[in-house]
Amino acid sequence: MTCLPRSGSTTPGRTVPAVSSANPRPENVNPRGGQGLRQVPGGYDIDRLPISVLRRDGELLESWLHRTAFRYGLHPRAMLGELGIHVDPQRRLKVHELFDDDAAMRAGQKLGLEPASLTKTGRTLATLRSAREAHDAILNGTTRPRFSSGTRWCPHCLEAGHWDEQWQDPMCWYCTKHSVHLLAECPRCGIMPYSTTSWNTTRAEPRTCPSFVTGDKVLQGRYRIRCGIRLDQIKARTASPMEVRDQQFIFELARGAVSTPEAPVFASGLQVRAQVVFEAILEMICAGSGMATLAVQPSEAMEAVAAFHAAIAVVRCSSLEASYEVAQSHGVLPDVDRIATLGSQQLARQNPRSPLLIAMWMATIHDELSPSLKLTVRMGSGRPRYPDGWQTHDRFLQASDAHPALPISWIPQTAWPGALQLADASALGLETPHGRAFISMCLARYGTTRSWRAIATSLGLPASAGRGVHRAWGKIEAADRTSAYIQAIDRLFIQLHEAPPPIDYERRRTLLWHVGTLAKSMARESPSAKGWPSISHFDDHVEFWATYTGGSTEFAPPSYRDAAWTATRGSIHSPRLDNLPIQDSASATAGEPMTWTPP
């Protein structure tokens, strides 16, 4: 007769205390009439497993399962079965998927653990994953998280008996605590830990390699032999201070990209948002290693590590041009033509790139761009970018780069005198009516692909004014002041966004496009009633129009050149006014000053 192990035996395979009857007898009832049965002590859960193994802070979930199974003398797949999670044989365990909220709740009740401890992710791994997922969602269009199979390890840290979960991240290559390279595969069997199904059925402790020895190794009987080497006793190669510093930098950058994505970080000679810098490094690593997404496999580690250090060296350069040269020398830029980055809006939207890489490309072709194109890519800011509407994401180097193009309603027909604050503005002809009209047109063009003809007509200028742009550029280029002029345009652009004009210039131009509207408005309410100068202050109606709309008498509409000022003061009536849906000037300009200049 075969003797079965008694209840509660520690024999491997006998894991759980004997299960009580489904219908237990009532308490204090003795069928023999004697003293009542002893009650279960208070606070003791009879359905719990006897040993509770806590998951350590930052411990890999596979490591915790492995340690728990080892304490019970089981293999991990059998331990999962005791926790109510069935896994088919030879199935690769994705433990993070097995322990959902319900499974974590059941396991916590069985082992006396907090269910949240089985679903939480450590800070370093969580930030690295979150930062990469944000990059994939914005630039690659993928939202599904990617989990690596297998893990690296530090033998010095492994002496504590558990595996850190941050070792599983594909951007973790060094142990910053012990300054060593993380090992990626067992020196005997050549297999990465937790990358195969062999650990599902091992009863050895977690620090022992559970993989099966293959190849020319002799098999013992009908079973394969396991490697069995102690992974915490392998010597790891020492990491250089630069390598450790780069690893710490990417950890800190990932934390900043998740917690404070808009925090400034010095990169390529600029103050750039932390999130943008991290995503640029990630894009360069993928380009340099030839991988669409990072992996943790040893066969791909060498290329990824080299690209990682090259990407860090790129962002540590002192200028965009220097960053581009370093990136080109290390081959960590996507294989595209620099000029092709400005090919078309469709091309830019089909191949979204990091704005930092776009700025590097454009900075190197600065001298090859026309002045009009320099306005389009905002070259005056020192951080060139795609024009409005070309990007499919909201990533910008700095907060000011997110400013959209100026509305036409903010721009007068001729810019305010002295608005550019250039010492040689008069010598360049920028203080004349035509020069100030040119400044207004450049403001309307800055950061957009608006045509010069459309800009001219929107500002109330003759459509032919678009052809005069080339003459103005020629004079500025002859004086070698193109860069200074575009930088002045950028400063005025930012200034107007920070202090928008309180006047709707486009509405005023539309409202008083015909001289008859001016007469009709004056009959309702004179300008002096608003605190503006009286009618007698102006020599003629054209001067009033120019002051009111921010334009110049040289560009007044044709009807103002044909009407007499004395008649305008009266009550000129035009049949067109009866059919035009134009608002009254008193309601259209309520609360607006007569004139305004930037502070």
**Residues 308, 246: contact at Cβ < 8 Å?**
yes
Residue 290 predicted with pLDDT over 60? yes
Tell how strand 264-267 and strand 270-273 pair up.
antiparallel
CA distance 278 to 355: 12
Contacting residues for 407 by C-beta, under 8 A, at least 6 apart? 506
Greater pLDDT, 114 or 515: 114
Sole residue written with tokens 């009866």: 578
Contacting residues for 454 by C-beta, under 8 A, at least 6 apart? none
**Residues 237, 247: contact at Cβ < 8 Å?**
no
Q: Which range is least confidently modeled, 18-27, 247-256, 331-340, 342-351?
A: 18-27
Nearest-5° Cα angle at 30, 26 to 34:
150
464-516: pLDDT as tens digits: 887 778 888 999 999 999 999 999 999 999 999 999 999 999 988 888 887 77
Tell how strand 174-175 and strand 264-267 pair up.
unpaired
Nearest to 337 by CA among 317, 323, 322, 351: 351
Q: Which range is least confidently modeled, 315-324, 356-365, 388-397, 539-548?
A: 539-548
CA distance 86 to 393: 43
Residue 321 predicted with pLDDT over 70? yes
User: What values do phi and psi take at 446, rounded to 5?
Assistant: -60, 120
Where do the H-state alpha helices sit in 290-394?
A: 301-315, 320-330, 345-350, 355-364, 371-376
Q: What does the pLDDT average to over 258-275? A: 92
CA distance 247 to 240: 11
Nearest-5° Cα angle at 51, 48 to 52:
85
CA distance 147 to 152: 14
CA distance 310 to 291: 15
Compute the 3-state secondary structure of the chain and give helix, strand, coil in percent, each to the nearest 5: 45, 5, 50
**Residues 225, 248: contact at Cβ < 8 Å?**
no
230-241: pLDDT as tens digits: 999 999 999 999
Task: List the structure tokens of 332.
Answer: 């960590």
37-57: pLDDT as tens digits: 445 454 555 567 888 899 999
Most confident of 375-384, 462-471, 523-532: 375-384
Position 215 scores a pLDDT of 62
557-582 in b/e burial notation, b at 16+ Cβ within 10 A? bebbeebebeebbeebebeeeeeeeb
Contacting residues for 253 by C-beta, under 8 A, at least 6 apart? 265, 274, 277, 278, 281
Position 345 scores a pLDDT of 73
Position 464 scores a pLDDT of 81
Predicted TM-score (pTM) of this structure: 0.80
CA distance 188 to 229: 8
CA distance 247 to 171: 8
DSSP per-residue letters across 73-102: T--HHHHHHHTT----TTPPP-HHHHS-HH
Position 391 scores a pLDDT of 81
CA distance 320 to 363: 6
Residue 197 predicted with pLDDT over 60? yes
Q: What does the pLDDT average to over 77-102? A: 87
| Beta bridge partners of residue 238, listed in sequence order | 180
Q: What does the pLDDT average to over 575-587? A: 36
Model confidence band, residue 28 (pLDDT cutoffs 50, 70, 90) = very low
Q: How many CB atoms sit inside 10 A of residue 13's CB?
A: 11
Q: What does the pLDDT average to over 130-141? A: 77
pLDDT > 90: what percent of the chain? Answer: 40
Nearest to 357 by CA among 385, 390, 316: 385
In 444-548, DSSP assigns E strands to none
